Structure 1
Amino acid sequence: MELEWRPGTMQVDFGQARATLAGREVTVHCLVATFPHSNMRYVAAMPGENAECVCEGLLEIFEHIGLVPSLLVFDNATGAAHRVAWDKVSVVRVFQLFCEHHRVEARFCNPRSGWEKGSVENAVGFLRRNLMVPQPSAEGYRQLTRWLLSRCDEFAGRAHYRLGRTVSDLFGEDRDAMVDWLQCIRQSDEGRMT
């Protein structure tokens, strides 16, 4: 049985790959974000997997697509939060502020329940195989991220694996369910002033 995901929902997880940055071979922590409704996938290259890298990677993706999803679904072990008990998650303060600023809700999957976020689990491997081989080279993380995001856009013309429509066509439905990134920022700024 497949889970149905409402348009505009984003799943987020990390993967790792090797890249050459400023002439040095390094392990890159890939913040992978997918929209399971459309199967649209994005990746941002980060130096680590802490809350600051989660926020920076998401910000790069939000800016790239010009939109903010209403819901982020995370693995239970990302840098954005820590599981303190089976049913209790402690969200890192900087990530909590990021979510409040962008007016986005975050949910965390249950331990050992990869099926709850199968879209992003699949995307980690897909993007590693299709974007990180051969090993990419860039001057830094930001330049690598821009290259990765542009390559992700190229995959949008492919047919959805199950529905027969293009990923870009289905991503239009995701886009309709999201908030304009600049409008979201302005509303957050206005909310702080009052």
Structure 2
Amino acid sequence: MVKNGEFFVIKEMKQRGMSITAIAKELGRDRKTIRRWLCEDYPDTYRRTVDKPEKLAPFKAYVRQRMEEGCLNAVVIFDEIRAAGYTGGITILRDFMRPLRPQVSSKATVRFETQPGRQAQVDWGEFRVDWSGKKKRLYAFVMVLGYSRMLYVEFTEDQRLETLMGCHERAMNYFGGITETCLYDNMKTVVAGTDDQGEVVWNERFARFASHHGFLLRRCRPYRARTKGKVENGVGYVRKNFWPRVQTFTDLQNLNEQTLLWLNAIANVRLHGTTQKRPIDLFAQEQLKPLVSEHFDRVDFHVRKVSSDSLVSYEGNRYSVPIRFVGHLVHVKDDRRGGIQIHYENKIISEHRKSSGQREIVQHKNHFEGIRKDTVAKPVPQPTPRLMPSSPIPEVVVRPLAVYEQFTEEEVTRS
């Protein structure tokens, strides 16, 4: 910044006929600065600036979140952040909140006025379990209907695209339909990226899946968490209300059976904190789009050959199929939620609970019906030598040669 004294020196030097380059060299300033100040009539008032650490900076994200949740009372938020370590005053907080209030107000209107059948929100939650003595991650797929707050939850082994699509179809079957739109964050299985104009680029296969079932994709923009706040609250509700109830489970399918019982007996019949009504009661007003009868091909099949003992090998374990398929090539489909299906020529020939162990055999007894017990191979006996009595040598009568000569003479006389 050029000080007041320098401003007048520059003006005087210019009046003496010095060039801008000469003035800049003389004062050690940039020529652009000299030229700009020569165009001014008066110098700017000098302002002393001191960089101070902003006390509210670590708490701004939390303040935004609380405002988007509907809390616009600065005193309440001030008490909360002060308990978390904030040392500034309430005036700084109010100044920060003031320009956000109109935005939050408009956002709150969109959040709490979702029309029936208009929108569902989807998200994942991560949970840790003791899996046969080892720590393992499971993932909870959560879908909540925006109007009624009806909830669907299921646990899976991963968050792959095939798993996500399978969860959607089971959620649609649970609700008996689907909303006009589904809202997501930036999960990679749904959002592939953005184009040059900043518009979202959807995962191509998932976009086809959505089109097949007749719902539109919507993305929650960064720093606008209110658009998927319902499902985030749903994930938190699962973590706080359902997860502490789970003491043991035998396998992933059993865990999902417990989840379904909880949904029907507790989650969807409780008095919701926001609507003050039961989700199941508001669900009667949801106007969902009907289900599509034709299934979307969502899972890659694993080709296997049925062994002679009528078993199919998959991920270290073996699963039975009916004996008539011995020697045939079949397709194994893992739904990644505790179930195994085995297909032959596009028909399901066997279904099993997925084993959580290794080198185990999972079988149904009826798959082996029709095998005759007498066809079981018997051990081949060892060859046993037999004692055979020796044949007697026939007796040979010994005659003198004169006898043979006599027979010869008699034959000649007859001739």
- TM-score for the superposition, normalised by structure 1: 0.81
Residues in 1 aligned to 2:133 and 2:176: alpha-carbon distance in whole angstroms: 32
1:20 deviation in Å? 4.8
1:147 deviation in Å? 2.7
Residues in 2 aligned to 1:150 and 1:97: alpha-carbon distance in whole angstroms: 32
Whether 2:155 is the aligned partner of 1:33: answer: no
Matched residue SS, 1:15: strand
Which residue of structure 2 aligns with residue 191 of structure 1?
Answer: none
- Which of 1 and 2 has higher RCO (CA within 8 Å, sep 6+)? 1
Query: Higher mean Cα deviation, 41-50 or 86-95?
Result: 86-95
Q: What amino acid maps onto 1:34 in structure 2?
A: V
Residues in 1 aligned to 2:229 and 2:144: alpha-carbon distance in whole angstroms: 10
How many residues align structurally? 184
1:72 deviation in Å? 0.6
Which residue of structure 2 aligns with residue 192 of structure 1?
Answer: none
Whether 2:250 is the aligned partner of 1:131: answer: no
Which residue of structure 1 aligns with residue 220 of structure 2?
Answer: 109
Unaligned segments of structure 1, at least 5 residues: 189-194
Instruction: Answer with 1 or 2: which has the greater Rg.
Output: 2
Matched residue SS, 2:151: strand
1:24 deviation in Å? 5.3
Residues in 2 aligned to 1:77 and 1:5: alpha-carbon distance in whole angstroms: 23
1:95 deviation in Å? 1.2
1:46 deviation in Å? 1.7
Matched residue SS, 1:42: strand
Which residue of structure 2 aligns with residue 156 of structure 1?
Answer: 268
Which residue of structure 1 aligns with residue 398 of structure 2?
Answer: none
Matched residue SS, 2:141: strand
Whether 2:180 is the aligned partner of 1:67: answer: no
Q: What amino acid maps onto 2:175 in structure 1?
A: I
Distance 1:30 1:54, change over 3 A: same
Residues in 2 aligned to 1:123 and 1:65: alpha-carbon distance in whole angstroms: 16
Q: What amino acid maps onto 1:123 in structure 2?
A: G
Contact 1:22 1:138 in 2 (8 A): no
Q: What amino acid maps onto 1:151 in structure 2?
A: W
Query: Higher mean Cα deviation, 98-107 or 145-154?
Result: 145-154
Residues in 2 aligned to 1:132 and 1:41: alpha-carbon distance in whole angstroms: 15
Residues in 2 aligned to 1:122 and 1:97: alpha-carbon distance in whole angstroms: 29
Query: Residues 1-194 of structure 1: matches in 2 within 5 Å?
Result: 1=105, 2=108, 3=111, 4-8=113-117, 9-20=119-130, 25-84=135-194, 87-135=198-246, 137-154=248-265, 155-174=267-286, 177-181=287-291, 184-185=292-293
Q: What amino acid maps onto 1:69 in structure 2?
A: T
Unaligned segments of structure 2, at least 5 residues: 1-104, 297-415
Query: Higher mean Cα deviation, 115-124 or 13-22?
Result: 13-22
Q: Percent identity?
A: 23
